[in-house]
Structure 1
Amino acid sequence: MLRKVCLLGIGSTLLAGCFGTHTSQAPIATTYPISEQQKMQAAHHWDVLAQHQAELLTQNDLLKNQPLFIRGAKQATPFSTAFDTLLTSQLVAKGAYVKTTPAQAAQVSYKVQVVEHKDRGYIRAPEGAMTALAAGIAVATIPYNQWSEPALALIPAAAATDLFSGSWTSETDQEVLITTQVTIADQVVYSNSNIYYINPGDNGHYTPAGAGAKLKNVSVNSEW
């Protein structure tokens, strides 16, 4: 038996030597390092973005003491209408010179793109999620083994939920990419992009009414 195993091992080694090692006929799928992405699901989050952009714009060396004109979106959306006002308020609050006409001013504009993934793969749970779940199951089994009142097991689990539930959210198949740009004499002097998850029902906040509507086919013939 030992002789057969040795012969099999030697044969496998010799056979492997006939082929290249560390090879593949197609790229092997791998993952990115774990990262985080915020989820935008309130008008307050638009104000947070406006505040962030106002801070970057007023701190930019090329834009200090430069009059700014906010150019609205070509097609209004709930987001664009609100963001125009919020960004104006945040810039004025930080001492920026915001004009109501584009003459002699740097033009601030933004682009919004909604991305919908049709076939997204598995997204791993947050670190510690499985540990917390296992701990919750373990706590729930304690009363059946030691305590006289099973409902007492819910107290530590509920306390943990109250403590950490504010940081829990879920990924979605839809994201929004928002890019803010500033141009002076047709030259882009500032560009900043941010990507957020959005709830599927909120995509209408970022796309013009009727955008993406499907055209209906109408049959035409010579009969009256």
Structure 2
Amino acid sequence: MRTRPRLFRLPTFLQAASVGVASLLLSGCFYANTSQAPIATTYPYTEQQRMQAAHHWDVLARHEATSILQRERVRNRDLYISAADDNDVSTYRGGEFGRGFRTLLTSELVSRGANLTTIPTVNGAIITVDVDVVEHRDRGFVRPPTGAFTALTAGVAVATIPINHWAEPALGLIPAGILADITSGSWTNTGNEEIIVTTQIIDGERILYSSSNIYYINAGDRRQYAPHSIPRAPVTPTVSITDTW
């Protein structure tokens, strides 16, 4: 009896893999040759700190004082830290960050031997601090903190162990809780409010030093950084009625 030769067949998982590779190759060809609009992509992973304590203002003041005194052009100059500009009409006056940061920067510079004056001098330079608030109104998807998905999946995996091995299933959440406690301290929400803090040293028409730093802030803290950007509350009209006899 003549037997029919058996055809070699790939295992099922190899068939699926080959189909996937072929699809990727084909999609790559289409992608490389046809595109009616630029394809959206992302930036490399970066981190940005959130400013939400007066201690953070002090950290920035120490950083700026160190950077300023490293500049040969300003190290031995008389420096005057200008006050906040209050010329704009605003419902709120002051600005806790403006006053606090200038005070902290003054303390840091004086403690390190800088020549600070209470009024501008002829041969001195002026330190200015400017704060810009950036509000994002239509942000797309923002990737969660690094390790968030890993921590969540690890917690789910650990929670299934006690069902088979431990007497009390709730004990399986303990390792997940420990993992969350270890990693959650470095997580915070991205938010839609940012500030750009720019510190400059100006001598006449020359800029001797300029440094800008960007931070996230809490939405409710905007008044601390840019009081002039808070809208004025609507005025309720009043009507007086007088009786005439």
Place the TM-score, normalised by the shorter chain, in its bin.
0.7 to 0.9
TM-score by length of 1: 0.83
Q: Which runs of 5+ in 1 are unaligned?
A: 1-18, 219-224
> Aligned partners of 1:138 and 1:216: how far apart in 2?
58
Q: CA deviation at 1:175?
A: 0.4
2:200 maps to 181
Q: Which runs of 5+ in 2 are unaligned?
A: 1-29, 87-93, 238-245
Of 93-102 and 163-172, the range deviating more from structure 2: 163-172
Fraction of identical pairs, as percent: 51
Q: CA deviation at 1:185?
A: 1.8
| Equivalenced residues, count | 201
AA at the equivalent of 2:131:
V
1:68-217 to structure 2, matched below 5 A, reads 68-75=79-86, 76-104=94-122, 105-208=124-227, 211-213=230-232
AA at the equivalent of 1:91:
L
> Aligned partners of 1:54 and 1:184: how far apart in 2?
18
Distance 1:140 1:47, change over 3 A: same
Contact 2:196 2:212 in 1 (8 A): yes
2:78 maps to 67
AA at the equivalent of 1:137:
V
1:57 matches 2:68: yes
- The C-alpha deviation readout for 1:77-114, integer Å capped at 9, x for no partner, is 11101111111001111111111011132100011011
> Aligned partners of 2:142 and 2:162: how far apart in 1?
34
AA at the equivalent of 1:53:
E
Q: CA deviation at 1:26?
A: 2.2
> Aligned partners of 1:147 and 1:100: how far apart in 2?
70
Q: CA deviation at 1:54?
A: 0.4
AA at the equivalent of 1:69:
Y
Of 74-83 and 53-62, the range deviating more from structure 2: 74-83
* Secondary structure at the counterpart of residue 33 of structure 2: coil
* Max Rg structure: 2
Contact 2:95 2:225 in 1 (8 A): yes
> Aligned partners of 1:186 and 1:212: how far apart in 2?
33
* Secondary structure at the counterpart of residue 75 of structure 2: coil
> Aligned partners of 2:37 and 2:182: how far apart in 1?
46
> Aligned partners of 1:150 and 1:89: how far apart in 2?
56
> Aligned partners of 2:95 and 2:172: how far apart in 1?
49
Contact 2:131 2:197 in 1 (8 A): yes
Contact 2:151 2:180 in 1 (8 A): no
Q: CA deviation at 1:210?
A: 7.1
Superposition RMSD in Å: 2.2
2:90 maps to none
Q: CA deviation at 1:154?
A: 2.5
> Aligned partners of 2:31 and 2:146: how far apart in 1?
38
- The C-alpha deviation readout for 1:36-63, integer Å capped at 9, x for no partner, is 1011010110110011000000111111
> Aligned partners of 1:210 and 1:166: how far apart in 2?
32
AA at the equivalent of 2:168:
E
> Aligned partners of 1:20 and 1:57: how far apart in 2?
50
Contact 2:151 2:179 in 1 (8 A): no
